[in-house]
Amino acid sequence: MTTSHMNGHVTEDSDSDMKSGELLAHEEPQWHREMAVDCPGDLGSRAMPVRRSAQLERIRQQQEDMRRRREEEGKKQELDLNSSMRLKKLSQNPRIGIDNPTFEPIEGLPPQGPGSTSRILDLEDLLASLKHIQYSLSDSQSQEDISVVLQLIQKTDFQNAFQIHNAVALHMNKPSPPFPLTSNAQDLSQEVQAILRSSQQKDGLELNALLTSPHVQALMQAHDQVAEQELQPEPAGPQDGLYETLTQYGGETVKIVRIEKARDIPLGATVRNDMDSVVISRIVKGGAAEKSGLLHEGDEILEINGIEIRGKDVNEVFDILADMHGTLTFVLIPSQQSKPPPIKETVVHFKAHFDYDPSDDPYVPCRELGLCFQKGDILHVISQEDPNWWQAYRDGDEDNQPLAGLIPGKSFQQQREAMKQTIEEDKEPEKSGKLWCAKKNKKKRKKLLYNANKNEDYDNEEILTYEEMALYHQPANRKRPIALIGPPGCGQNELRQRLMANEPERFAAAVPHTTRSRRDNEVNSRDYHFVSRQAFEMDVGANKFIESGEFEKNLYGTSTDSVRQVINSGKICLLSLHTQSLKVLRSSDLKPYIIFIAPPNQERLRALLAKEGKNPKPEELRDIIEKAREMEQNYGHLFDAAIVNMDQDKAYQELLRLINKLDTEPQWVPSSWLR
């Protein structure tokens, strides 16, 4: 467990970032905790460095100090050259020291000295120097030693090391550009002049005359103008930043990144601990880090605004960044992970088929960035780069929430829900065969009483995650059918009849099929489609019915063709269906709009039924409410809207509003409908 601090609150969070393969294994998963390092804009400000290249110059100064320390340590460890006769003569010629910036002239080589630029020897120069020394030595032992050195130099390993040495030496000896120390040289000059006015010394009078000359004053003015620009922090937008690669920083290649983090745009990154290192674990869409493109997953943070980060806990990093805003200067070790070039991801829209609360999820890698949503919410997924944890916005929150949130990926959610179901099944106590058979037979009896299709029953083993959606605007001449869903007693049939009675030119019902005999006052294809039992059963086998059932030894059903006839006439088809029919209806080409009519509380439901002349018992009221709850739990992900029938008139007006909205606003529908 790690203690994470977020906006002043302390919570105990379990380490998490589970891989899908580890999730299925029955062993201790290897996950880690990520900490969001966004800087809240209301936590005050911190003094920013004023010089644009001050951080770079400080690193270069450290490099120079390291080089000097190496030279001093090298001098301390020098061998006593006088102890060997053959090395004594070698030491008399400083030309052997290839790092020595001042060389004595050697015949056949360019002069090198204090007045000339230091030159790094190449292999040919080194070989020429050694051969010259070999022939100038008198004793054979020394000459033999030089021969051994010459053989060493001609080996490939030595030559590679020599080239690396030269490359580093050239960079280390490269002079740094001059940086202004102050932008008020004119003020300093005037202060010096004021002091020198009372001076009677010759040097003081001469300096005063020099400082008051027009040319020097013009020089001071030009210096201050340039220095003022150099010393002022440059304004940088979210996509502006200084990126400069340095060869050495404590023996490691680093890059310097400057990001301007505005108050209304969080940084948008998470970090994790990897031993003593603090590594960027995730770049969150919508933040300053993602917009700049300069921070990458896997980069190790060495410093932020001059504060050393290595060795700190991720919670300490958050506390440090909580006090910072404006320009953030990072010193980073670039990630060594080889990644393919980034692919511009398109936004994919999903409808959530389950509720999700990150505060209850022990596996979310960064709880502070978890996105809470409910069944039926539309989620705009903008990144699936991490297959386990997608980045998304909830529909309607894009303008108010700059940072994307983390939601479980589809495969990851399916895997862990499957594992959860397996664990729960293993924990269930064994039930008697009698009870099990009774439960099974009850389900079978239910199927016999009502069948929407042979595969229509809700599958309790189905794992609901997300459904890809797209916007759809219904054509003016092809209205979507309206399916009203609800338990008996909630008023959906009354609402349907009221719509058709009040606006018969706009609404109509699908003509059902039946196998019973036609009565005298009935008209075929107006009241029912009268068909034989054999034809009815053949159509059922061909999946032509949305729903079908048997009553008093006669078959009844509503076919997709009947609904299509109403749609083709230009009217809106009103359906009142059982929940088991919804999957069949949605798998057709009818593009239904499904509205759930929910009951109010028990007392209000009693009053509504009393207006209809009904006097239900308390257990009947509870049964209606319980059935509605089961419908919403099992099929709520298929509903497009819900109306709580508190009052028939208000429910009717709300139903009309939803239906009218289909003509004026595009609606989210499964993307498979539009393919």
- Per-residue pLDDT of 524-538, as tens digits, reads 989 999 999 999 999
CA-to-CA distance for 532 and 522, rounded, in angstroms? 17
- Kindly state whether residues 399 and 359 are assigned to the same domain: yes
597 phi and psi angles, rounded to 5 deg: -100, 110
End residue of a domain, out of 275, 300, 333? 333
**Is the model's pLDDT at 660 over the cut of 50?**
yes
* pLDDT average, residue stretch 22-48: 40
Range scoring the smallest mean pLDDT among 38-47, 126-135, 245-254, 460-469? 38-47
Inside any domain, residue 549: yes
- Kindly state whether residues 202 and 262 are assigned to the same domain: no
Inside any domain, residue 593: yes
- Per-residue pLDDT of 608-622, as tens digits, reads 888 888 888 899 999
- Kindly state whether residues 312 and 265 are assigned to the same domain: yes
Please report, for the domain that includes residue 141, its CATH number: 1.10.287.650
Residue 659 confidence class, pLDDT cut points 50, 70, 90: very high
Inside any domain, residue 56: no
Q: What DSSP string runs through 438-491? A: HHHHHHHHHHHHEES-TT-S--TT----EEEEEEE---TTSPPPEEEE--TTSS
Amino acid identity at 512? P
Amino acid identity at 248? Q
Inside any domain, residue 493: yes
Helix/strand/coil percent split, the chain, to 5: 40, 20, 40
510 phi and psi angles, rounded to 5 deg: -75, 140
Q: Which residue has the higher pLDDT, 2 or 214?
A: 214
Amino acid identity at 20? S
Q: Do 265 and 290 form a contact (C-beta atoms < 8 A)?
A: no
Q: Is 178 exposed, middle or buried (0-12, 13-18, 19+ CB in 10 A)?
A: exposed
- Kindly state whether residues 477 and 611 are assigned to the same domain: yes
Residue 49 confidence class, pLDDT cut points 50, 70, 90: very low
CA-to-CA distance for 531 and 555, rounded, in angstroms? 10
- Which tokens go with 316? 């300490």
Residue 241 confidence class, pLDDT cut points 50, 70, 90: very low
CA-to-CA distance for 22 and 32, rounded, in angstroms? 13
- Kindly state whether residues 581 and 514 are assigned to the same domain: yes
End residue of a domain, out of 366, 391, 422? 422
Inside any domain, residue 7: no
- Kindly state whether residues 476 and 602 are assigned to the same domain: yes
Range scoring the smallest mean pLDDT among 167-176, 218-227, 656-665? 167-176
Inside any domain, residue 367: yes
- Kindly state whether residues 501 and 614 are assigned to the same domain: yes
Residues facing 529 on adjacent strands: 513
Q: What's the mean per-residue pLDDT of the chain?
A: 76
Residues facing 312 on adjacent strands: none
Instruction: Note down the domain range covering 280.
Output: 244-333
- Per-residue pLDDT of 568-583, as tens digits, reads 999 999 999 999 899 8
Residue 199 DSSP symbol:
-
Q: Chain-centre distance of CA 522, in angstroms?
A: 63
Strands 348-352 and 378-383: antiparallel
CA-to-CA distance for 417 and 361, rounded, in angstroms? 12
* pLDDT average, residue stretch 345-367: 91
Percent of the residues in the chain that have a pLDDT greater than 70, as a whole number? 70
* pLDDT average, residue stretch 512-532: 92
- Kindly state whether residues 484 and 527 are assigned to the same domain: yes
pLDDT at 54: 44
**Is the model's pLDDT at 474 over the cut of 60?**
yes
Q: From the CB of residue 197, how many other CB atoms can be counted at a distance below 10 Å?
A: 9
- Kindly state whether residues 283 and 412 are assigned to the same domain: no
Inside any domain, residue 50: no
Residue 408 DSSP symbol:
E
**Is the model's pLDDT at 346 over the cut of 80?**
yes
Q: In the β-sheet with 529-530, what is the strand arrangement from edge to edge? A: 450-451, 545-551, 554-559, 513-514, 529-530
Give the count of domains, the chain. 5
- Kindly state whether residues 540 and 475 are assigned to the same domain: yes
- Kindly state whether residues 415 and 519 are assigned to the same domain: no
Q: Which residue has the higher pLDDT, 447 or 375?
A: 375
How open is the CA angle 419-420-421, to the nearest 5 degrees?
90
Q: Which residue carries 């932020």 as its tokens?
A: 304
Question: Between the CA of residue 396 and those of 147, 378, 392, 399, what are the distances in Å?
Answer: 80, 9, 12, 7
- Kindly state whether residues 561 and 667 are assigned to the same domain: yes
Three-class secondary structure assignment of 5-74: EECCEEEEECCCCCCHHHHHCCCCCCCCCCEECCCCCCCCCCCCCCCCCHHHHHHHHHHHHHHHHHHHHH
Please report, for the domain that includes residue 279, its CATH number: 2.30.42.10
* pLDDT average, residue stretch 231-252: 52
Residues recorded for the chain? 675
Q: Which residue has the higher pLDDT, 449 or 556?
A: 556
The helix/strand count (H/E) of the chain reads as: 20, 26
- Which tokens go with 29? 């998963």
CA-to-CA distance for 625 and 632, rounded, in angstroms? 11
Range scoring the smallest mean pLDDT among 83-97, 267-281, 303-317, 629-643? 83-97
End residue of a domain, out of 397, 422, 447? 422
Amino acid identity at 409? G
Question: Between the CA of residue 247 and those of 63, 116, 170, 333, what are the distances in Å?
Answer: 10, 26, 11, 11
Q: Is 246 exposed, middle or buried (0-12, 13-18, 19+ CB in 10 A)?
A: middle
Inside any domain, residue 48: no
CA nearest neighbour of 147 among 156, 161, 137: 137
